[in-house]
Copies of this chain bind each other. A is one copy, B any other.
Amino acid sequence: MILTVTLNTALDITYRVRELRPHGSHRVSEVTERPGGKGLNVARVLAALGHEVTVTGFTGGPTGRELQARLTGTSGVVDALLPVSGTTRRTIAVVDELTGDTTQLNEPGPTVTPAEWSAFQKTYESLLFGVSAVALCGSLPPGLPVGAYAGLIRTARTAGVPVLLDTSGEPLRRGVAARPDLVKPNTGELAELTGSHDPLRGARDTRRRGAHAVVASLGAQGLLATTPDGTWHATPPTHIPGNPTGAGDSAVAGLLSGLVEHLPWPDRLARAVALSAATVLAPVAGEFDRSAYEELLGRVTVTGEAGAA
Protein backbone atom coordinates (compact mmCIF):
# COMPACT_ATOMS: atom_id res chain seq x y z
CA MET A 1 0.00 0.00 0.00
CA ILE A 2 1.21 3.49 -0.98
CA LEU A 3 -0.12 6.63 0.75
CA THR A 4 -0.56 9.95 -1.03
CA VAL A 5 -1.33 13.17 0.85
CA THR A 6 -3.27 16.01 -0.80
CA LEU A 7 -3.87 18.75 1.76
CA ASN A 8 -5.57 20.99 -0.82
CA THR A 9 -7.73 18.57 -2.82
CA ALA A 10 -9.78 20.02 -5.68
CA LEU A 11 -12.60 19.22 -8.01
CA ASP A 12 -10.96 19.83 -11.39
CA ILE A 13 -13.49 21.18 -13.87
CA THR A 14 -12.69 21.62 -17.57
CA TYR A 15 -14.77 23.94 -19.76
CA ARG A 16 -14.51 24.05 -23.52
CA VAL A 17 -15.41 27.40 -25.12
CA ARG A 18 -14.97 28.55 -28.70
CA GLU A 19 -12.75 31.49 -27.84
CA LEU A 20 -12.20 33.14 -24.48
CA ARG A 21 -12.69 36.91 -24.74
CA PRO A 22 -12.27 38.91 -21.52
CA HIS A 23 -15.51 40.75 -20.57
CA GLY A 24 -17.52 38.65 -23.03
CA SER A 25 -20.24 36.08 -22.35
CA HIS A 26 -19.44 32.47 -23.27
CA ARG A 27 -21.50 29.34 -23.79
CA VAL A 28 -19.58 26.38 -22.41
CA SER A 29 -19.93 23.56 -24.95
CA GLU A 30 -18.55 20.76 -22.76
CA VAL A 31 -18.06 20.28 -19.01
CA THR A 32 -15.86 17.54 -17.50
CA GLU A 33 -15.11 17.01 -13.81
CA ARG A 34 -12.72 14.82 -11.87
CA PRO A 35 -11.12 14.60 -8.44
CA GLY A 36 -7.93 16.64 -8.43
CA GLY A 37 -5.06 17.96 -6.43
CA LYS A 38 -1.63 16.49 -7.17
CA GLY A 39 -1.81 13.60 -4.66
CA LEU A 40 -5.12 12.37 -6.09
CA ASN A 41 -3.68 12.50 -9.62
CA VAL A 42 -0.63 10.52 -8.46
CA ALA A 43 -2.91 7.96 -6.79
CA ARG A 44 -4.96 7.48 -9.94
CA VAL A 45 -1.83 6.73 -12.00
CA LEU A 46 -0.44 4.40 -9.30
CA ALA A 47 -3.74 2.51 -9.25
CA ALA A 48 -3.64 2.22 -13.04
CA LEU A 49 -0.14 0.70 -12.68
CA GLY A 50 -1.61 -1.95 -10.35
CA HIS A 51 -0.64 -0.50 -6.97
CA GLU A 52 -3.01 -0.18 -4.03
CA VAL A 53 -3.16 3.41 -2.86
CA THR A 54 -4.72 5.21 0.08
CA VAL A 55 -5.41 8.92 -0.35
CA THR A 56 -5.64 11.32 2.55
CA GLY A 57 -5.91 15.07 3.01
CA PHE A 58 -8.94 17.28 3.54
CA THR A 59 -12.40 17.38 2.00
CA GLY A 60 -15.38 19.60 2.84
CA GLY A 61 -18.70 21.05 1.70
CA PRO A 62 -20.70 20.16 -1.41
CA THR A 63 -17.60 20.19 -3.65
CA GLY A 64 -15.86 17.78 -1.26
CA ARG A 65 -18.86 15.43 -1.33
CA GLU A 66 -18.86 15.51 -5.12
CA LEU A 67 -15.12 14.80 -5.19
CA GLN A 68 -15.55 11.81 -2.85
CA ALA A 69 -18.48 10.45 -4.85
CA ARG A 70 -16.26 10.46 -7.95
CA LEU A 71 -13.34 8.95 -6.02
CA THR A 72 -15.53 6.02 -5.00
CA GLY A 73 -15.64 5.03 -8.65
CA THR A 74 -11.83 4.81 -8.94
CA SER A 75 -10.76 1.21 -8.41
CA GLY A 76 -7.59 0.58 -6.38
CA VAL A 77 -7.90 3.90 -4.52
CA VAL A 78 -8.95 3.89 -0.83
CA ASP A 79 -10.51 7.15 0.42
CA ALA A 80 -9.08 8.22 3.80
CA LEU A 81 -9.81 11.94 3.37
CA LEU A 82 -10.68 13.87 6.53
CA PRO A 83 -13.71 16.17 6.75
CA VAL A 84 -13.20 19.91 7.34
CA SER A 85 -15.77 22.63 8.01
CA GLY A 86 -14.69 24.64 4.93
CA THR A 87 -15.44 23.82 1.31
CA THR A 88 -13.08 21.96 -1.03
CA ARG A 89 -11.91 24.19 -3.85
CA ARG A 90 -12.79 23.95 -7.52
CA THR A 91 -10.25 24.59 -10.25
CA ILE A 92 -11.59 25.61 -13.63
CA ALA A 93 -9.55 25.09 -16.80
CA VAL A 94 -11.11 27.01 -19.70
CA VAL A 95 -9.92 25.44 -22.95
CA ASP A 96 -10.05 27.74 -25.95
CA GLU A 97 -11.11 25.61 -28.94
CA LEU A 98 -9.64 28.07 -31.43
CA THR A 99 -6.08 27.98 -30.05
CA GLY A 100 -6.09 24.95 -27.71
CA ASP A 101 -4.75 27.22 -24.94
CA THR A 102 -6.01 26.92 -21.38
CA THR A 103 -6.93 29.66 -18.89
CA GLN A 104 -6.87 28.50 -15.28
CA LEU A 105 -9.05 29.77 -12.40
CA ASN A 106 -8.18 28.29 -8.99
CA GLU A 107 -10.33 28.75 -5.89
CA PRO A 108 -8.26 29.19 -2.71
CA GLY A 109 -9.57 26.14 -0.82
CA PRO A 110 -10.96 25.85 2.71
CA THR A 111 -9.25 27.48 5.68
CA VAL A 112 -8.10 24.58 7.86
CA THR A 113 -8.45 25.17 11.61
CA PRO A 114 -5.73 24.20 14.12
CA ALA A 115 -8.04 21.45 15.49
CA GLU A 116 -8.54 20.01 11.98
CA TRP A 117 -4.78 20.09 11.37
CA SER A 118 -4.15 18.26 14.68
CA ALA A 119 -6.74 15.63 13.78
CA PHE A 120 -5.07 15.17 10.41
CA GLN A 121 -1.62 14.68 11.90
CA LYS A 122 -2.98 11.87 14.13
CA THR A 123 -4.73 10.18 11.22
CA TYR A 124 -1.61 10.52 9.06
CA GLU A 125 0.56 8.90 11.73
CA SER A 126 -1.81 5.92 11.97
CA LEU A 127 -2.06 5.60 8.16
CA LEU A 128 1.76 5.34 7.94
CA PHE A 129 1.66 1.91 9.62
CA GLY A 130 2.22 -0.67 6.96
CA VAL A 131 2.61 1.59 3.94
CA SER A 132 5.63 1.15 1.69
CA ALA A 133 5.98 4.84 0.75
CA VAL A 134 4.24 8.18 1.13
CA ALA A 135 3.99 11.13 -1.28
CA LEU A 136 3.24 14.66 -0.03
CA CYS A 137 1.86 16.64 -2.94
CA GLY A 138 0.79 20.13 -3.90
CA SER A 139 0.05 23.47 -2.28
CA LEU A 140 -1.02 24.07 1.32
CA PRO A 141 -4.58 25.29 1.94
CA PRO A 142 -5.08 28.51 3.93
CA GLY A 143 -4.64 28.11 7.69
CA LEU A 144 -1.82 25.54 7.66
CA PRO A 145 1.64 26.40 8.99
CA VAL A 146 4.27 26.84 6.27
CA GLY A 147 6.26 24.04 7.91
CA ALA A 148 3.36 21.57 7.59
CA TYR A 149 5.19 19.31 5.14
CA ALA A 150 8.39 19.44 7.19
CA GLY A 151 6.45 18.00 10.15
CA LEU A 152 4.84 15.28 8.01
CA ILE A 153 8.29 14.35 6.63
CA ARG A 154 9.74 13.98 10.15
CA THR A 155 6.79 11.77 11.15
CA ALA A 156 7.34 9.53 8.09
CA ARG A 157 11.07 9.29 8.79
CA THR A 158 10.35 8.32 12.42
CA ALA A 159 7.98 5.63 11.13
CA GLY A 160 10.64 4.41 8.68
CA VAL A 161 8.49 5.14 5.63
CA PRO A 162 10.21 6.57 2.51
CA VAL A 163 8.77 10.00 1.77
CA LEU A 164 8.54 11.96 -1.50
CA LEU A 165 7.78 15.70 -1.49
CA ASP A 166 6.35 17.56 -4.50
CA THR A 167 5.55 21.17 -3.64
CA SER A 168 6.98 24.65 -4.19
CA GLY A 169 8.08 27.86 -2.48
CA GLU A 170 8.56 28.09 1.27
CA PRO A 171 6.81 24.75 2.04
CA LEU A 172 9.41 23.10 -0.28
CA ARG A 173 12.31 24.94 1.38
CA ARG A 174 11.15 23.90 4.87
CA GLY A 175 10.36 20.40 3.65
CA VAL A 176 13.81 19.87 2.11
CA ALA A 177 15.41 20.82 5.44
CA ALA A 178 13.43 17.98 7.09
CA ARG A 179 15.41 15.49 4.93
CA PRO A 180 12.85 13.79 2.67
CA ASP A 181 13.96 10.74 0.67
CA LEU A 182 13.05 12.38 -2.65
CA VAL A 183 11.92 15.75 -3.98
CA LYS A 184 10.72 16.38 -7.54
CA PRO A 185 11.02 20.11 -8.31
CA ASN A 186 10.66 21.55 -11.80
CA THR A 187 13.33 23.96 -13.04
CA GLY A 188 11.42 27.03 -11.81
CA GLU A 189 10.94 25.56 -8.34
CA LEU A 190 14.59 24.53 -8.24
CA ALA A 191 15.74 28.03 -9.21
CA GLU A 192 13.43 29.60 -6.61
CA LEU A 193 14.81 27.26 -3.93
CA THR A 194 18.52 27.46 -4.74
CA GLY A 195 18.95 30.63 -6.81
CA SER A 196 20.64 28.57 -9.54
CA HIS A 197 19.23 28.28 -13.07
CA ASP A 198 21.55 25.33 -13.80
CA PRO A 199 19.43 22.28 -12.92
CA LEU A 200 22.40 20.05 -12.02
CA ARG A 201 23.88 22.68 -9.73
CA GLY A 202 20.41 23.39 -8.25
CA ALA A 203 19.72 19.69 -7.67
CA ARG A 204 23.10 19.18 -5.95
CA ASP A 205 22.45 22.21 -3.78
CA THR A 206 19.03 20.80 -2.89
CA ARG A 207 20.72 17.59 -1.73
CA ARG A 208 23.10 19.63 0.43
CA ARG A 209 20.05 21.36 1.93
CA GLY A 210 18.72 18.00 3.10
CA ALA A 211 16.99 16.04 0.32
CA HIS A 212 18.33 12.48 0.04
CA ALA A 213 17.67 12.38 -3.72
CA VAL A 214 16.46 15.00 -6.19
CA VAL A 215 14.68 14.34 -9.47
CA ALA A 216 14.36 17.60 -11.36
CA SER A 217 11.71 17.82 -14.05
CA LEU A 218 13.12 19.52 -17.15
CA GLY A 219 9.80 19.62 -19.03
CA ALA A 220 10.20 18.30 -22.59
CA GLN A 221 13.86 17.49 -21.82
CA GLY A 222 12.92 14.75 -19.36
CA LEU A 223 14.22 14.19 -15.84
CA LEU A 224 17.56 14.81 -14.13
CA ALA A 225 18.26 12.66 -11.05
CA THR A 226 20.96 13.33 -8.45
CA THR A 227 20.99 10.55 -5.88
CA PRO A 228 23.37 8.87 -3.42
CA ASP A 229 23.74 6.13 -6.06
CA GLY A 230 24.64 8.35 -9.01
CA THR A 231 23.44 10.99 -11.44
CA TRP A 232 21.26 10.26 -14.49
CA HIS A 233 19.44 12.14 -17.21
CA ALA A 234 16.40 10.46 -18.78
CA THR A 235 14.91 11.88 -22.00
CA PRO A 236 11.86 10.95 -24.07
CA PRO A 237 12.64 9.54 -27.56
CA THR A 238 11.02 12.43 -29.42
CA HIS A 239 9.26 15.74 -28.86
CA ILE A 240 5.82 14.91 -27.49
CA PRO A 241 3.04 17.29 -28.57
CA GLY A 242 -0.01 17.70 -26.34
CA ASN A 243 -1.26 18.98 -23.00
CA PRO A 244 1.32 18.86 -20.16
CA THR A 245 -1.37 19.00 -17.41
CA GLY A 246 -0.70 16.18 -14.96
CA ALA A 247 2.60 15.12 -16.59
CA GLY A 248 4.48 15.97 -13.36
CA ASP A 249 2.03 13.93 -11.28
CA SER A 250 2.50 10.94 -13.60
CA ALA A 251 6.28 11.30 -13.16
CA VAL A 252 5.82 11.22 -9.37
CA ALA A 253 3.72 8.05 -9.71
CA GLY A 254 6.47 6.49 -11.86
CA LEU A 255 9.18 7.34 -9.34
CA LEU A 256 7.13 6.16 -6.38
CA SER A 257 6.14 2.85 -7.97
CA GLY A 258 9.79 2.30 -8.95
CA LEU A 259 10.84 3.00 -5.37
CA VAL A 260 8.46 0.48 -3.78
CA GLU A 261 9.34 -2.10 -6.46
CA HIS A 262 13.07 -1.52 -5.66
CA LEU A 263 13.89 -0.83 -9.31
CA PRO A 264 17.35 0.53 -10.14
CA TRP A 265 17.35 4.31 -10.67
CA PRO A 266 17.64 4.15 -14.50
CA ASP A 267 14.49 1.99 -14.63
CA ARG A 268 12.59 4.27 -12.27
CA LEU A 269 13.50 7.28 -14.40
CA ALA A 270 12.58 5.55 -17.68
CA ARG A 271 9.18 4.67 -16.21
CA ALA A 272 8.63 8.22 -14.94
CA VAL A 273 9.58 9.77 -18.30
CA ALA A 274 7.43 7.32 -20.30
CA LEU A 275 4.42 7.89 -18.02
CA SER A 276 4.90 11.62 -18.23
CA ALA A 277 5.09 11.56 -22.04
CA ALA A 278 2.07 9.24 -22.25
CA THR A 279 0.15 11.78 -20.14
CA VAL A 280 1.05 14.66 -22.48
CA LEU A 281 -0.16 12.51 -25.40
CA ALA A 282 -3.50 11.51 -23.84
CA PRO A 283 -6.58 13.27 -25.24
CA VAL A 284 -7.98 13.93 -21.72
CA ALA A 285 -5.81 16.22 -19.54
CA GLY A 286 -4.17 14.29 -16.70
CA GLU A 287 -4.97 10.80 -18.00
CA PHE A 288 -2.24 8.67 -19.56
CA ASP A 289 -2.33 6.67 -22.76
CA ARG A 290 -1.43 3.11 -21.71
CA SER A 291 -0.34 1.79 -25.09
CA ALA A 292 1.78 4.92 -25.67
CA TYR A 293 3.32 4.36 -22.22
CA GLU A 294 4.23 0.75 -23.02
CA GLU A 295 5.61 1.71 -26.42
CA LEU A 296 7.63 4.67 -25.07
CA LEU A 297 9.04 2.78 -22.06
CA GLY A 298 11.66 0.96 -24.11
CA ARG A 299 12.63 4.09 -26.04
CA VAL A 300 13.53 6.44 -23.17
CA THR A 301 17.25 7.27 -23.17
CA VAL A 302 18.96 7.20 -19.77
CA THR A 303 22.52 8.54 -19.60
CA GLY A 304 24.71 8.99 -16.55
CA GLU A 305 26.61 6.88 -14.13
CA ALA A 306 26.39 5.13 -10.82
CA GLY A 307 28.50 6.42 -7.94
CA ALA A 308 28.21 9.22 -5.41
CA ALA A 309 26.64 12.27 -7.08
Residues of A that sit less than 8 Å from B by CB: 15, 17, 20-29, 31, 62, 65-66, 69, 92, 94, 96, 99, 101-108
Q: Which residues of B contact A103 (CB under 8 A)?
A: 20-26
User: Which listed residue, B22, B62, B69, touches A22 by the CB 8 Å rule?
Assistant: B22
Q: Which residues of B contact A26 (CB under 8 A)?
A: 103-106
Cβ-defined contact, B65 with A106, below 8 A: no
Cβ-defined contact, B22 with A101, below 8 A: yes
Query: CA–CA, A92 to B94, complex, Å?
Result: 11
Cβ-defined contact, A28 with B102, below 8 A: no
Given contacts A21-B22, A28-B106, A62-B65, 7 further A-B contacts (CB under 8 A): A20-B103, A23-B96, A23-B99, A25-B106, A26-B104, A27-B106, A28-B108
How many of these chains are in the complex? 2
The smallest C-beta distance from A4 to any residue of chain B, in angstroms, reads: 23
Chain B residue at smallest Cβ distance from A70: B62
Q: Which residues of B contact A92 (CB under 8 A)?
A: 92, 105
Cβ-defined contact, B22 with A105, below 8 A: no
Cβ-defined contact, B25 with A104, below 8 A: yes
Q: Which residues of B contact A107 (CB under 8 A)?
A: 15, 28, 31
| Given A62-B65, A65-B62, A66-B62: A94 in contact with B102 (beta carbons within 8 A) | no
Chain B residue at smallest Cβ distance from A102: B23
**Most chain B beta-carbon neighbours within 10 Å: one of A15, A29, A99:** A15
Query: CA–CA, A28 to B104, complex, Å?
Result: 10
Cβ-defined contact, A94 with B101, below 8 A: no
Chain B residue at smallest Cβ distance from A29: B108
Query: CA–CA, A25 to B99, complex, Å?
Result: 16
Cβ-defined contact, B62 with A17, below 8 A: no
Q: Which residues of B contact A31 (CB under 8 A)?
A: 107-108
Q: List 20 A-B contacts (CB under 8 A).
A: A20-B22, A20-B103, A22-B22, A22-B101, A23-B96, A23-B102, A24-B104, A25-B103, A25-B106, A26-B104, A26-B105, A27-B106, A27-B108, A28-B107, A28-B108, A29-B108, A31-B107, A62-B66, A92-B105, A94-B105
